Amino acid sequence: MASVTNRPIRMCVRLLLTLIGAAAFCGPVPAGATALRINESMCHAVSDFDVSDGEVETLRFACVGSPTYYQQRSLWLRTDLRQMGIARGSVALMVHNSRFDRLAVAFAYADGGVRWQQVHQGDYGLHWRTGGQIVFEAPERPAPLIAVTMRFDRLASHELVRAHILSREQSSMQSAGMAAAVGAALTLLLVSGIYGLSLAIAVRRQYLAWQAAWAAAMLLWGGLWSQVHLGLFPSLAGTVSAQICTFLACLAIALATASAVTALDRSGVSRRWRMLTLGLGLCIGLAGIPLALIRSGDIGRWADLLGLVILGDLAAVAICLVWGWRHGSAEARDFAAAWGLPMAVLAFINLVDVEDGFWGGGSKLVVLVAATWQALWLVAAATRRVTHLRIERDQARVAEAQAQELARRDPLTGLPNRRGFIESVTPLLDRAQSDQLPAALFVIDIDRFKSINDVYGHDAGDVVLCRIARRIARWEGPICTVARLGGEEFGLLAIGMEGIALDRFAENIRRKIAACDHSEILGERVVTASVGVAEVRPACDFQRLYKIADDALYEAKRAGRNQVVLQRHAGAGPAPDVPDRQSKFSRPRRPVDI
């Protein structure tokens, strides 16, 4: 069972390792790509909205300082490609999606020609690419390309602008690689989320439900950030998607914190510390609401402040996990392994700027890969734990069944004991009553068994009982069940047998028992048995049958032992004091084996 369960997990882990390898292969910056930054390779200018795109040459661009008061105006960013050593026409500008109303791009050529391309909120057209990128390809012209100008209307923050100049071939390769990496990550998040939710419902563990909710939030965030949703909902292009992504990112951190904290309920971690950690996660989730709505102001400062709170939340979760681990919590070990990579990634991207790396995906792609790792690891750990619990449960059920079976069996002879006999005769009697069949109970008692124990010892007596039990067990069948009722007394119940056949069967039992060979332990001594038989038509309850058979056995003992006494009664009414009919015999004229 465990191997079957772990097979899909191993496949998912292999896919994740392939994804991580692809992200590592991407490298920090694509080969041949040039990052564009304000005051390094881009100059800036600010204008009102009524300035047309064609008036770009009338603007005064500054190459030092930071642009101001542009959130409700137009921000112009210009790059001179001649100073950068790029003078080819077959280039592409790749811009990371950000919060703006409109983006217009001008490609200027040495012969004075200018070609404009634009996108605006709600419509990226054919310029959008998977991985949160917008691509503008410079038209092919005889004249060399000398400059690229970008105009942002109502840009939320210039610090959010990430742009690269690269060749068309590199742009196509990067877009294809990004699509493959993002697609693999989102697929794994979807699978782990669905599986985690089903697992949470099956085992009823709260932290697994929080984990499934976190996977769903990361799946939505990854889909919106990577712009995969634009294939179905192109009207969500731009600011709306960016705002939702901000909220989902904060919500995902809150859900992940809740998952870790609730998993440590029984780990020995202080409740006060767990509540503090949960409070930090809740603050981050709530902070995502106003942060997502900000369109102006210093977004970078608020982002930096939120980054500090996130680092504090990660530290608090790490302390909880270490605390729980030291107290032997298996959940803490699982979460520590799962959170290790995401914690390191979040801490790293809050301390180091990696936005220009990883094929333009930057920190977003790294976070998506780390989230996929966390989701798969926790699902695998939960599956392994559930599998072990299921195995232990099955083993407990087997042990319980064996214990119940032992409780129904006589430990010496292996036959059912009185309890097991009653449980087995009940369905037979019910069947006989429903089909109006007769039922016969045989009570067999070994004659003078106490003297065997006294003369030959209890070990010899046990051997005699076992041999007789093996003989009686041969009559076990669909319409007959046997048992050791206690001491030297055995029981046998048969349905559907009456008249002369029953007489012969009873005598055959007596003869077969007397024919058992005990010469190895008893010498020439013959062991006989007395048999009391109760026949009732139609069948009645076991207590009434047993009373009649016990009375018949008493008659057989009083008549000199080694006898069969059979009493027949009608099924209705209580057992009478005087039997309807009693037959007593010691040797039939023609014994018949049945």
Active site residues: 488
Alpha carbons 411 and 220: distance in angstroms, whole number: 63
Instruction: Please provide the DSSP assignment of 571-584 as one string.
Output: SSSSPPSS-SEEEE
Alpha carbons 465 and 417: distance in angstroms, whole number: 14
Which SS3 state, helix, strand or coil, does residue 391 take?
helix
Alpha carbons 176 and 388: distance in angstroms, whole number: 41
Q: What is the 3-state secondary structure (H, E, C) of 347-391?
A: HHHHHCCCCCCCCCCHHHHHHHHHHHHHHHHHHHHHHHHHHHHHH
CB 515, CB 524: distance < 8 Å: no
Alpha carbons 518 and 98: distance in angstroms, whole number: 98
**Residue 44 forms beta bridges with which residues?**
62, 77
CB 221, CB 245: distance < 8 Å: yes
Alpha carbons 463 and 453: distance in angstroms, whole number: 11
CB 213, CB 397: distance < 8 Å: no
- Residue 68, judged by CB atoms within 10 A of its CB (0-12, 13-18, 19+), counts as exposed
Identify which of 162, 157, 101 has the alpha carbon closest to the alpha carbon of residue 303.
157
Chain center to CA of 133: 35
CB 273, CB 320: distance < 8 Å: yes
Alpha carbons 217 and 212: distance in angstroms, whole number: 9
- CA dihedral defined by 80, 84, 85, 88, rounded to 10 degrees? -50
Q: Which residues of 121-136 are buried (b: 16+ CB within 10 A; e: fewer)?
A: beebeebbbbbbbbbb
Q: Give 417's contacts (C-beta < 8 A, 6+ positions apart).
A: 408, 409, 410, 483, 484, 485, 486
105: enclosing H helix or E strand: strand 102-109
CB 48, CB 73: distance < 8 Å: yes
Quickly tell me which residue has 């965030």 as its tokens. Answer: 221
CB 375, CB 192: distance < 8 Å: yes
Q: Give 255's contacts (C-beta < 8 A, 6+ positions apart).
A: 210, 213, 214, 217, 281, 285
- Residue 560 is given by DSSP the state T
Please give the structure tokens belonging to residue 412.
Answer: 């010496």
Alpha carbons 591 and 594: distance in angstroms, whole number: 10
Quickly tell me which residue has 């563990």 as its tokens. Answer: 205
